[in-house]
């Protein structure tokens, strides 16, 4: 699940951007959710608990400045992809280099937004890392190095072959939304990277490479996840 945000103090433009997103992505299988904000402060509050993958940002939001918000997100090491939407081109030369993916003039939005949105989606789906809040601060992890996530005693832990890291997030489902299709959830307590699976037994027991932990697939999910894993192996062979 990808999370998109729109910040514009004019509801008519929020609605138009939302509509263009829905129309552009209608025939795709992409799962996404769009949230609109009319000021910057509510976005910052929401962004504290939820990572937004893509932000459509008006540069002039009332008396507030979208350029300052982009700088704040960069200082917080938030890797949100930003597309500026503005009625003026006077800010264009100062608006790049801050996680900025593009710049759209509102009067040309109907033509430009679908093109830039598709390009941004291609960029997002090619990203190979995930940024998370940990006990050590904000850290970026290469997805290929993550073996699995575990929910234990109301905390979420990330495991690689070298370390165990406590993640500041409320549930595994919120982690799963931000991962690619290489990850599966065999039960309510684990999310596993299929690259590390050594075997899945007929009884539904998953064994990982370089790990002594075994993972039991929930009753009723064995056949489905076994098929998902077989399809994953076929795709890996075809690469």
Per-residue model confidence as pLDDT tens digits over 54-94: 999 988 877 777 777 877 877 766 678 899 888 877 655 45
- DSSP class of residue 29 equals -
Choose from 48-57, 85-94, 108-117 the range with maximum mean pLDDT: 108-117
Q: In this prediction, what percent of the chain has a pLDDT beyond 70?
A: 92
Instruction: Provide the β-strand partners of residue 192.
Output: 148, 184
The 10 Å CB-count burial string (b at 16+, else e) for 131-152 is: bbbeeeeeeebebebbbbbbbe
Which domains are delineated in the chain?
2-126 (3.40.50.2300), 130-238 (2.40.50.1020)
Q: Is the pLDDT of residue 117 over 80?
A: yes
Reported confidence tier of residue 218, pLDDT bands at 50, 70, 90: very high
Quick one: pLDDT at residue 98?
52
CA angle at 89 for the pair 108 and 112, rounded to the nearest 5°: 25
Q: In this prediction, what percent of the chain has a pLDDT beyond 90?
A: 42
Mean pLDDT for the stretch of residues 106-129: 87
Q: What is the pTM of this model?
A: 0.60
Mean pLDDT for the stretch of residues 8-20: 94
Q: Is the pLDDT of residue 184 over 60?
A: yes
Q: Is the pLDDT of residue 223 over 80?
A: yes
Quick one: pLDDT at residue 147?
94
Choose from 102-106, 108-112, 235-239 the range with maximum mean pLDDT: 108-112
Element (H, E) at 6: strand 2-7
């Amino acid at each position: 699940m990808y999370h998109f945000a729109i910040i514009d103090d004019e509801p008519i433009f929020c609605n138009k951007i939302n509509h263009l997103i829905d129309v552009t992505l209608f025939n795709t299988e992409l799962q996404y959710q769009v949230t609109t904000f009319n000021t910057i402060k509510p976005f910052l509050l929401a962004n504290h608990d939820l990572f937004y993958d893509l932000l459509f940002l008006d540069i002039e939001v009332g008396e507030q400045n979208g350029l300052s918000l982009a700088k704040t997100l960069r200082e917080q090491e938030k890797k949100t992809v930003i597309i500026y939407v503005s009625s003026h081109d006077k800010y264009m030369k100062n608006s790049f280099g801050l996680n900025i993916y593009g710049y759209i003039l509102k009067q040309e939005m109907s033509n430009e937004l679908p093109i830039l949105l598709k390009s941004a989606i291609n960029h997002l789906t090619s990203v190979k890392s995930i940024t998370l809040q940990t006990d050590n601060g904000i850290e970026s992890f290469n997805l290929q190095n993550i073996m699995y996530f575990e929910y234990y005693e109301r905390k979420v832990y990330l495991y690689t072959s070298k370390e165990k890291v406590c993640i500041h997030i409320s549930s595994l489902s919120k982690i799963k939304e931000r991962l690619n299709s290489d990850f599966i959830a065999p039960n309510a307590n684990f999310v596993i990277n299929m690259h590390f699976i050594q075997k899945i037994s007929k009884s539904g027991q998953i064994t990982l490479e370089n790990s002594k932990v075994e993972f039991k697939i929930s009753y009723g999910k064995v056949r489905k996840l076994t098929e998902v894993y077989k399809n994953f192996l076929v795709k890996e062979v075809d690469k």
